[in-house]
Amino acid sequence: MKTITLVCVVMCLTFGMASSHYYYGHHDHGYHGHRHRIAFTAVTSSTTTYSSGTTIRFTTVKANYGHAYNNGNYRFTAPSNGLYVFSWSIATHTSYKGHTKLVKNGSTYHQARCSSGYQQCGATVTIILHKHDQVWLESDYSSIYVYATYSSFSGWKLN
């Protein structure tokens, strides 16, 4: 029985690697075997105060698999229909609140509230998107203070 199990495991792993290599090919642009994956992480590059309704500028892109995040307009555009996850974290100053909202196509999808004080706060949400839907973060308070490099915005496609 142990021999049959071992043979099955070896064959499954061999077939899995061979089929993965066949499907994705050699031109995966630096992320071996996953050129069809969608994921990004971007951080703020400067400490800035944002007024209510202002898009938070995550300009430094740490990863952008699938090139769906645009650091020119600070928006993620869904390349295909599916279930996505977005996560963000905002570092605030002691005299400011860190209220933010995740916006989908111009409408508030989710909000995160952070009271004043030196804090790191945010949220993680799942959302169904259709091809070309856009998602971004905005300030959701009269004035929020966002620390550079300590504040981030990430997203990825589950399926």
Q: Give 9's DSSP letter.
A: H
Give yes or no: residues 101 and 86 share one domain: yes
Percent of the residues in the chain that have a pLDDT greater than 90, as a whole number = 52
Give yes or no: residues 111 and 129 share one domain: yes
Q: How many domains does the chain have?
A: 2
Q: Give 55's DSSP letter.
A: B
Give yes or no: residues 146 and 80 share one domain: yes
Residue type, 95: S
Give yes or no: residues 29 and 63 share one domain: no
Give yes or no: residues 7 and 69 share one domain: no
Give yes or no: residues 141 and 66 share one domain: yes
44-71 pLDDT tens trace: 999 888 999 999 999 999 999 999 999 9
Residue 18 confidence class, pLDDT cut points 50, 70, 90: very low
101-122 pLDDT tens trace: 999 999 999 999 877 667 788 9
Tell me, what's the pLDDT at 55?
A: 96
Give yes or no: residues 91 and 131 share one domain: yes
Tell me, what's the pLDDT at 36?
A: 75
Helix, strand, or coil (residue 16):
helix
User: What residue numbers bound the domain in which 20 lies?
Assistant: 1-36
Asked whether the beta carbons of 104 and 45 are under 8 A apart, the reply is no
Give yes or no: residues 122 and 78 share one domain: yes
Give yes or no: residues 76 and 149 share one domain: yes
Tell me, what's the pLDDT at 44?
A: 95
pTM: 0.76
Give yes or no: residues 41 and 114 share one domain: yes
